[in-house]
Structure 1
Amino acid sequence: MNFFEVFFAFLFSLVLNAQSYTISQEAPVPVTDGCARIHNEFITKQKTNFSYTDVKDCYQSYPFDKDVASKTIDTLTDLIGGFYSFLDKAKEPPQPGFDFRPMDLIAELKLFRNKSYATLYDFTIDIIHLFNDLKDAHTIFASNCFETFVFYTNMTFYSVVDNGMQKIKVFNDTIDRSNIDCEVTHIDGQQAFQIIYEYANKSVNWSRDLGVRFNIALDHTYAKRSFAIRYEIPEKPDITYTLKCDNTNEFNVKRNWNAFTIRSVLNKFNDSKSYFDNICNPIKGSKQSVSSNHKHRKVTKIFDNVDGILAKQDQSVTTIRIVDQFVEFYKVQDFGVVKIITEQPNTSTTDETIAMFPKVIQGFKELVNTGIKKVIDDLV
């Protein structure tokens, strides 16, 4: 398992949850409160599917806060500068055959200090897009706050090559099954293949190979990265597909973007304030994180050798620091050994997780101070 898949994907998903944000408790809940409308639909109709407008209004109900943005940028800059070993590599132009932009991540993060946004959602999405541009599946930025609902249109797709032409076809349509296997010629009036190709190039980050990203964009099991099933608010409330079935004339199918979430989430809020307190910022509200990572965490205690180097009974091994059954630091002759025991620290709240990071940083510093010349990363 790659170290940065473990470390960065976990750390970045927690950044916004660690920030402080306050909403007045005395302000009346307005009719325009999308979170309140969602709660009402859930309570009165037991719905778990909601309109594009309600979810959009819920997400965008929090105005941009300069202090939250500054703390987020500070945290990301420290993490990237201290741990991202591909920082210089990311600045290099891509090799022939690859299509992504070189970037100085630290410099780009600094530019956000001078930007202003209408909402906290807009700021968060801009940061997500920045990290997506790395095209590095192991290094992401995410926020529980704005990834609670999944948008979909009941239609998914696949691609085939027909007479030398690559085409988009309907894989499944849960509203009208007669559309399955029909060709999708256009999406919102533009060539379907080109629309999905551009989406893969811009919005999918799981590979540096554009061909792989195109396949991921069509794979409906990749929620959040799929063209048809996504977490980010679509640009508009509906989408129009132009279909051609069995040599018949083309016809348009207009679908609304709907949003789905699970009942355990819907039980945690009744308006925008309680949504933020219990989902976006559980430190201030509920002390229990809503992240499924915490609910399903399994901490593995493994004390095997590190490629035959680390035997507990070996007197040549010096223990430098052990951090909460998460990371262990050892010195063996002139080697430093960093043993990562689990991909998820044994913490139950975001507070505890954030408090553990300085100990990890201190472990690296103490290891360097022993005079080691090389480091082995053991990913258990």
Structure 2
Amino acid sequence: MVNLRSLLLSLAFTFLPTLTLAQSEPSTPTVNTTNPTIDPCTTLGSRNGTNITYTDVSDCYKFIPFNRAQANTTLTTLYTLYNDFYVFRDASRNPIQLPPFSNESVDILGELDRIRGLGYANDFQFHADVRAAVGSLRDVHASYEVNCYTAYSFVQPLYLYAPVINVTQYVRVYKDNLNRNMQLEDCIVTTIDNVDALTYLRQAADELVHYSHDPNVRLNAVLTSQRYRNITGDIIESPGEFSRSRYLPKAAFVDYQLKCANSESPLMLRAEWIVEKLTNAEFDDRESYVENVCRAEPRVLPTPPSPPTRPSPGSPHRPSRTSSARRTSSHTPPPPRHTRTVHPPKRRQTVYAKRQYPAEPSPSPSPSLEPEPLPSPSPSLSPSPSLSPLPSPSPSPPIPSLPLPAQQYTHTQKTAISSDTTAFYQSLQKPTLGIMVVHSFAGGLPESEFDTILAGLSDLHARNVTQLLIDLQVSEGGDVEFATRLVQMLFPNATVEGLGIGVDMRVNPSIQRLSKAILDEPQISGAPYDARMFVSLEDNNRHRYNDNSLFMKSTATIRFGRSANYTNPTTLFIRPLPSHITSAVSTFPWTNNPTQIRLVTNGLCTGACGIAAYLLSSVQKVQPYGIGGSQITPLSMFSSPGSLGTTLETIQQLYADHGIQSPMRDLPYKNRVPFSPPSQLYINNLASTIEETK
């Protein structure tokens, strides 16, 4: 097995180990065969979170009857959301053909209408189809999840990855979490459910992963990867979406055929799903399950507004509609800062970077930091036995064994300085090389976060580091302001105005009423319909909005055959870095010097992470390197179209807080339904893929 971290430090990369989970796909309604005289939810509730089987959960889920009235409420609300609020409603109808992207045309409104016309044997199948329809948009800010059918997780004991060995890519066992005496680590997985293993995982990735248009990034998402754990400051394994999922798999078990170095005959194994309870709700039958796990609580409305009064002379704010408990000050506070989860825009131009592979794997030396083993699932959570050998086919030649990859950067020394978002390492083999692991783009952190990052970079400089490797493998979405300012720490010659990325948003009369009310109530957060968050780009006269003209001066635009109103081009307001930071970083040898900086990603970099990857590679011309995916195939640097993400629940609460009737009804079930109000549309020369070469 290839030592991934040592390869990373030498800038010669192979595929990350990864793992995937089985999950239900869009289904054709079938007849419910559950015995109607027995309530399987009673059985499931009696398990008390232990010894739960796949059948226990499946039977309870499918015992909940389909409710046509609830389904109509759900579909009507989602139709309004995607028709009147979702900015990519029309862009999603345009298929992306630029390799390696694979994106079919999706008419989400047509899909919702199609589902409305179907009949269902149970409620579970209806929600599975809705989830699949929304997931087909492949937008990380467009998904449909209800608590009712994500109350349990399903885990496979085998973790898988797909390294390239001697110019050939195999699926292998990264770790066996239950049967260590079987010595399955590093065995080649030849088939899964009687299908070629790599083919099976690619197909599973297309079904399970809904946030990337790149099938190779989706493959990375279903395999085992490594992530930085900020609490303990080490790198741990992440099993991937094939081996751990909150969604009901298709069957109670998975069949594997393995080829191991210690056996001449192929080994056939059947691995049952380990089930873990995620909800704290108690129930003892179907009705109490629906009431306690599924049903959404009635929305609590704010205190009725007081009669309008004329402000006293010099009063800095208008009377609030909300109770005094919501007010943070008797004076007008500065416009609230919000977590801006922003995704990179649709790809327009391909910029390539070389990906290298080692000619021959070599044994991995001991890691410089002691790895912490991933705890095995508790046997009490699994039926026994979880792995059962099946009859073996004819013998086959043995295969060479490979060392397991380390769980830390090998041949490195971690510095004493780390922050809530970054960690720093120095290469021992090449002491002039430093590594900045950006493991989070979280928003809402104090300004001192950038002082800590400065301290980490200063420490590398004091160690005579002259080259910087930026690792974005473990990063996801977050705050676009943080991403922009982080890039400015490396390239202070670039202003935040120059790093800003243009957006536009859908507009309708309901949004206009809401945005006006948000400006009238500065004490209440109004993202993403708070105009003060944005900067005007009209007539090249950049200024921050202090009125509602952004939403009131909309423009009718036809996109892919449909007309809708959009705001004029705008961009998010970003605060510049303090001068003491830009002055301090100017002394570093890599500052404003893209030849001394490298970027590494596995394509799972989404949202604000994607913005940072774009600004570094395409705007500042930093060379990117990719890890994972499929052999001899380009890999995209980041995933999902650009947007400022929010949720249906957030928008509904905004309407309620400001006393405005929402055009959408609340969904019957507890839910998480994110979507994209604004889009990132005005990026030129977008670096979208990393070319793979031997």
Task: Output the TM-score relative to the length of structure 2.
Answer: 0.40
Offset at residue 225 of structure 1 (A): 6.8
Offset at residue 202 of structure 1 (A): 2.4
Q: How many residues are matched?
A: 306
Partner SS, residue 80 of structure 1? helix
Deviations 1:250-301 (A, max 9, x none): 1111111232114xx35522222111101100427x99xxxxxxxxxxxx99
Deviations 1:1-49 (A, max 9, x none): xxxxxxxxxxxxxxxxxxxxxxxxxxxx97732221122221xxxx434
Other-structure match for 1:272: 286
Name the amino acid aligned to 1:321.
A
Compared CA separation, residues 283 and 242, structure 1 to 2 (3 A)? same
1:257 aligns with one of 273, 282, 288: 273
Other-structure match for 1:167: 170
- Please give the alpha-carbon distance, in whole angstroms, between the structure 2 residues aligned to 1:271 and 1:211: 43
Compared CA separation, residues 170 and 354, structure 1 to 2 (3 A)? farther
- Please give the alpha-carbon distance, in whole angstroms, between the structure 1 residues aligned to 2:135 and 2:678: 29
Other-structure match for 2:410: none
**Where does 1:181-220 land on structure 2 (aligned, <5 Å)?**
181-219=186-224
Partner SS, residue 157 of structure 1? strand
Contact 2:92–2:107 (Cα < 8 Å) also in 1: yes
Contact 1:335–1:376 (Cα < 8 Å) also in 2: no
Compared CA separation, residues 357 and 99, structure 1 to 2 (3 A)? farther
Contact 1:34–1:53 (Cα < 8 Å) also in 2: no
**Where does 1:105-184 land on structure 2 (aligned, <5 Å)?**
105-177=108-180, 178-184=183-189
Other-structure match for 2:21: none
Please say if 1:40 is aligned against 2:43: no
- Please give the alpha-carbon distance, in whole angstroms, between the structure 2 residues aligned to 1:187 and 1:36: 33
| Aligned Cα root-mean-square deviation (Å) | 3.9
Compared CA separation, residues 267 and 361, structure 1 to 2 (3 A)? closer
Please say if 1:320 is aligned against 2:534: no
Partner SS, residue 108 of structure 1? helix
1:303 aligns with one of 320, 332, 335: 335
Deviates more, 1:138-147 or 1:98-107: 98-107
Compared CA separation, residues 186 and 224, structure 1 to 2 (3 A)? closer
Please say if 1:233 is aligned against 2:248: yes
Compared CA separation, residues 355 and 200, structure 1 to 2 (3 A)? same
Contact 1:224–1:231 (Cα < 8 Å) also in 2: no
Offset at residue 326 of structure 1 (A): 3.5
- Please give the alpha-carbon distance, in whole angstroms, between the structure 2 residues aligned to 1:225 and 1:150: 13
Name the amino acid aligned to 1:118.
A
Compared CA separation, residues 60 and 138, structure 1 to 2 (3 A)? same
Compared CA separation, residues 79 and 333, structure 1 to 2 (3 A)? closer
State, as a whole percentage, how many aligned pairs show the same letter. Answer: 26
Contact 1:37–1:54 (Cα < 8 Å) also in 2: yes
Q: Which has the higher contact order (CA 8 A, sep 6+)?
A: 2
- Please give the alpha-carbon distance, in whole angstroms, between the structure 1 residues aligned to 2:72 and 2:173: 44
Deviations 1:298-350 (A, max 9, x none): xx997368999xxxxxxxxxx9322642433455478427999x9889x99x9
Contact 1:152–1:257 (Cα < 8 Å) also in 2: yes
Contact 1:185–1:192 (Cα < 8 Å) also in 2: yes
Compared CA separation, residues 244 and 376, structure 1 to 2 (3 A)? closer
Partner SS, residue 293 of structure 2? helix
1:283 aligns with one of 278, 287, 297: 297
- Please give the alpha-carbon distance, in whole angstroms, between the structure 1 residues aligned to 2:255 and 2:337: 58
Task: Output the TM-score relative to the length of structure 1.
Answer: 0.70
Compared CA separation, residues 280 and 304, structure 1 to 2 (3 A)? closer
Contact 2:222–2:241 (Cα < 8 Å) also in 1: yes
Compared CA separation, residues 136 and 357, structure 1 to 2 (3 A)? farther
- Please give the alpha-carbon distance, in whole angstroms, between the structure 2 residues aligned to 1:343 and 1:360: 22
Compared CA separation, residues 357 and 332, structure 1 to 2 (3 A)? closer
Contact 2:526–2:654 (Cα < 8 Å) also in 1: no
Gaps of 5+ in 1: 1-28, 288-299, 309-318, 363-374
Contact 2:516–2:548 (Cα < 8 Å) also in 1: no
Partner SS, residue 241 of structure 1? strand
Rg larger in 1 or in 2? Answer: 2
Partner SS, residue 179 of structure 1? coil
Compared CA separation, residues 242 and 357, structure 1 to 2 (3 A)? farther
The structure with more helix, counted as a fraction of residues: 1
Contact 1:91–1:103 (Cα < 8 Å) also in 2: yes
- Please give the alpha-carbon distance, in whole angstroms, between the structure 2 residues aligned to 1:101 and 1:165: 30
